[in-house]
A and B are shown apart, each in its own frame.
Chain A
Amino acid sequence: MLSRVAESLYWMARNVERAEDLARLLDVTATRSFDRLEDALPRWQAIYTVAGITPPENAADRLQTVDDVVFDTTSRFSIAASVRIARQNAVGVRAELTTEVWECINGLYLFVEAQSARAVGPDGTSTFLRSVRDTAQAFGGICDATLAHDDAWEFLRIGRFLERARMTSRILRAVEDDDVAPHVWQLTLEACCASSPFARARRQSADPVEALAFLALSPVFPRSLRFCVREIDAALHMLSGAPAGTFADNAERHSGRIAASLDFAGPFDLVREGARPFAVRLAAQLDELGSAIVSTYFPAVPVG
């Protein structure tokens, strides 16, 4: 397939995933802030950090955060910007998409563009964020169900899971080491859509070490770092044709190393390294993996 098309599919999937993850994070935080006012403010600050948006100098409240993180189109990191970038990439590869995929992303774009902080209003935040989240999730499902699982789909898979892993690592990074109140971990689990899966797997409430280990190392939870990196590694091997456990290019070397480090880590290793240093290291490794994927598959100058 065309390198340009592969790159656009990758960025389309990354930005849709980003919109979904940010929408969930905002909604979860907003919902929990009403009856836990005492620590609401640092949580709002943390969202800026996770999103990569510079927070305002005065402490942000809920509406300010929604305005900045959802609608600020001067930032390329807001939800509106992510949707716009995703749709722009979709326009560039429209010939590769099924009607269903295209109409889903176009519909999401038209929906978000038609909204503003004012239009959503103080009571409409949750409804709006859930619509974004649902449509973004539907997008993933429609891609899986209507596109051939060929090279194009592998690039979608890589984009989706790389962004998801980055967001999980950033959410973990936002948890201060000394900030281990159970409800903070509960919030973290919910922000990663992990509340019920964690409860089912561990049959207990949010013990900090267990929660961290679940979000980092679960082999079956589809938002854990390990699961995401495994997906990326598998997709890269589908593209290169190299046998599992070997590498044919720089991207596979990075994905293989991260995957192995997560495969063979236990909760104790995370405690020893510390939740925050671990999350910082993983976030950096994922960024390196992203760069390696770009230089392997989307070179500015064609190879050959």
Chain B
Amino acid sequence: MRSILDRYAPAPAFDEFAAADGQPRDHYAPLAATLAGISSADFRHRVTTVNSVLLQRGVTFTVYADARGTERILPFDLIPRIISGAEWDVISRGVAQRVRALNAFLVDVYGDQRALREGIIPRELVFSSQHFEREAVGVRPPHDTYVHVSGIDLVRDADGTYLVLEDNCRTPSGISYVLENRDVLKRAFPRLFAGYDPLPVDDYPRRLRSALLASAPRNALEPTIAILTPGIYNSAYFEHTLLARRMGVELVEGSDLFVRDNVVYMKTTRGPARVDVIYRRVDDDYLDPLYFRGDSALGVAGIFDAYRAGNVTLANAVGTGVADDKAIYPYVPTFIRYYLGEEPILQNVPTFDCSDAAQRQHVLGRLDQLVVKRTAASGGYGMLMGPMSTATERADFADAIRANPRDFIAQPVVTLSAHPTVVDEGLAPRHIDLRPFALLHGDTVDVPPAALTRVALTAGSLVVNSSQGGGSKDTWVLAD
């Protein structure tokens, strides 16, 4: 029998599975033994089964570029990614530290602005951020918590060192894939779990609920939580329904809410019902047509007044996007030292700030070697992957950078670590990243062992975003 593992050749990058000598790393050894006994045909059969299960379950996302709003399943790769307990210890402590610093930065930016006065970060860089909300200055959210839920994207460089690629402090998504991937894999392919006892992921909704309850306004006795969704056409709608169901809270759309006397209510069959905590999956811009985009039909008129009056917790708070602006990102290690008095546990990827003339010149001279990102963008949209770009694309980016330098950063290409992934021919290395999620309330950060591994399914590709042809893997965090 030809096993699925037979022809696996490690990548010219940090290979998660195989060490330099080609042998499986210790924490992958039981999986390697299991895979050696599974044929390619058997594997393909499982893949078909899993895909139809995911479609039947409706674990789908909507592709914006597709005018028909087609629902697609996120490709799910059946080979699990495994993280040792020692690695996870570093990751979880590093992520928690980073989130505390990001929150402290937001408290400062919308409060005293001490770091700005002391020149820790240039004032104009903060105020020019597209996601800096002037209206939120001077508004203190309950418990000074801004970033209730965040997703910190990590990659591993050629040495296997974990680096922070970007912070997601607005409405990071992906946790539903973590929950569903584990559930589906356990049912479809229980054999793979032989020799492992990964930490469970399914208490994430409970932990999120606890964090949100702890963030309720102080005057709320029995807080009511609702999840605010942009609606069924949002790409992450499935996730919103899954979380609402598992958390046992209402899933509301903007039109289900109204504000009277600075209090937010849901329209129910038994009349208005007060809402205390809103886990909103709607961007700031669309939250309140009275303050932000007037044409927004997704938001609730007056909700910002209710927030300002301290009558409702918005998670995340208004204005958190300034903390995940890619031009602010280079300063996060500085924030960790400045606000926490600690040394960063996780390092940044070196980053060039195009608003700085010297760094801009450096970038413009090396566009073919760098990754250029728009500072306000996310989801892998609007990027230039230098080594794979055409001369025309580089020229367009050069013009755009010269016109609006503040809108761009550049980074050296990080050759992400690679992981065995199912392809037509068997298993092949594909590049992956890792998005752990962090839940913050007060000074407490909870980093559940429920992280999303995204995988670039195209050979050689370094772009893992689902909107750009990425898939996902079940991610096992081990206890030891």
Contacts and interface: CB of A to CB of B under 8 A. Distances in A.
Interface of A: 1-6, 88, 91-92, 94-97, 99, 102-103, 106-107, 110, 151, 239, 297, 302-304
11 contacts: A2-B256, A3-B267, A3-B268, A3-B269, A4-B253, A92-B232, A94-B241, A102-B58, A110-B56, A302-B267, A304-B272
Q: Is the interface of B mostly helix, strand, loop or mixed?
A: mixed
Given A2-B267, A91-B232, A95-B241, A302 B258 contact: yes
A94 B267 CA distance: 18
Contacts of A3: 256, 267-269
Contacts of B242: 95
Contacts of A2: 250, 252, 256, 266-269
Interface in B229-280: 232, 237-238, 240-242, 244-245, 250-253, 255-256, 258, 266-272
B240 A95 contact: yes
Contacts of B271: 302-304
Contacts of B237: 91
Contacts of B232: 88, 91-92
A151 B269 contact: yes
A74 to B, nearest CB: 17
A179 B232 CA distance: 48
Given A2-B268, A6-B269, A107 B56 contact: yes
Given A4-B253, A4-B256, A106 B56 contact: yes
Range, interface on chain B? 20 to 34
B391 interface: no
A96 B57 CA distance: 15
A88 B420 CA distance: 38
A300 to B, nearest CB: 10
Contacts, number: 64
Among B238, B240, B241, B242, the one with the most A-chain Cβ atoms within 10 Å of its Cβ is: B241
B269 A1 contact: yes
A58 B55 CA distance: 41
Interface string B368-409: 000000000000000000000000000000000000000000
- Going nearest first, the 10 A-B pairs with the smallest beta carbon separation are A95-B244, A95-B251, A94-B241, A302-B267, A95-B241, A304-B271, A95-B245, A6-B269, A304-B272, A3-B267
Nearest to A92: B232
Contacts of A110: 55-56
Given A2-B252, A4-B256, A103 B269 contact: no
Contacts of A96: 245, 251
Nearest to A91: B232
A1 B224 CA distance: 13
B269 A302 contact: no
Given A4-B255, A95-B245, A103 B57 contact: yes
A28 B331 CA distance: 73
A144 to B, nearest CB: 19
Contacts of A6: 269
Contacts of A303: 271
A303 B267 CA distance: 8
Contacts of B269: 1-3, 6, 151, 239, 297
B404 to A, nearest CB: 39
B241 to A, nearest CB: 4
Contact of B58 (A88, A92, A106, A239): A106
A94 B245 contact: yes
A107 B252 CA distance: 25
Contact of A4 (B227, B238, B245, B267): B267
A1 B268 contact: yes
A88 B58 CA distance: 12
Nearest to A7: B269
A250 to B, nearest CB: 15
The winner among A95, A103, A106 for most chain B CB atoms within 10 A is: A95
A3 B272 CA distance: 10
A91 B57 CA distance: 12
B348 to A, nearest CB: 37
A103 B244 contact: no
A9 to B, nearest CB: 10
A86 B56 CA distance: 16
Contact of B56 (A103, A239, A302): A103
A5 B269 CA distance: 9
B161 to A, nearest CB: 40
Nearest to B243: A95
Contacts of B252: 2
Contacts of A4: 253, 255-256, 267
A88 B56 CA distance: 15
Contacts of A302: 258, 267, 271-272
A99 B227 CA distance: 19
Nearest to B58: A106
Q: Which of A91, A151, A297 has the most chain B CB within a 10 Å cutoff?
A: A91
